[in-house]
Amino acid sequence: MSRIGKRAVTVPTGVTANVEGQTVKVKGPKGAMQVVLHDDVVVSMDKGAVKVAPRSESKRARSMWGTSRTLVSNLITGVTKGFEEKLEITGVGYRAAVQGKQLSLQLGFSHDVNYPIPTGITIATPKPTEIVISGTDKQQVGQVAAEIRGYRPPEPYKGKGVKYAGEYIFRKEGKKK
């Protein structure tokens, strides 16, 4: 039994959810989103909640059960609160700034790295060493954060680079004489 899958996803007030076959459409104050779920699960509306159940007792169906329920839950959270990811930049001369529809990063290269901000994503830089990525799609927010971090991941000797807020960097000792 999936502990996550057997709980129904409640639809809060101000949010409308429709189930059409395998497609779940959700509309809320921050926008509208939809997801097409796997064929191994059955989706239904029941008393203001979305229920997901496995179609059979196969391993694949039970695996998709919890995953599908979490995808529906993420849709509802995205259209009500949204998702946010924070990045921190460490290093002398390393900084970030939003210029129009691009994020300009100075990460110790001979050139600036310009990252085009995708539609549906908002990037803010409250400080030059802090990047806040927000949006309604959890997967897209995480992907953008991973791409920005990928330009200069934190290195273990001095800790310079772009890291997630709260991420622990395993530090190494430098060479000795």
pLDDT of 4 strictly over 90? no
Q: Are residues 69 and 89 in the same domain?
A: no
Q: Which of 80, 95, 129 is the last residue of a domain?
A: 80
**Smallest Cα–Cα separation from 124: which of 147, 141, 103, 145?**
103
Domain holding 119, by residue range, is 83-164
pLDDT of 1 strictly over 80? no
Encode pLDDT of 101-160 as tens digits.
999 999 999 999 999 999 999 999 999 999 999 999 999 999 999 999 999 999 999 989
Which pLDDT does position 97 carry in this prediction? 94
Residues 6+ apart with CB under 8 A from 125: 96, 97, 98, 103, 131, 132
Q: Is residue 2 part of a domain?
A: no
Averaged pLDDT, 48-76: 90
> How many CB atoms are located within 10 Å of the residue 151 CB?
13
Q: Are residues 71 and 132 in the same domain?
A: no
Can you give the CATH number for the domain in which 66 is found? Answer: 3.90.930.12
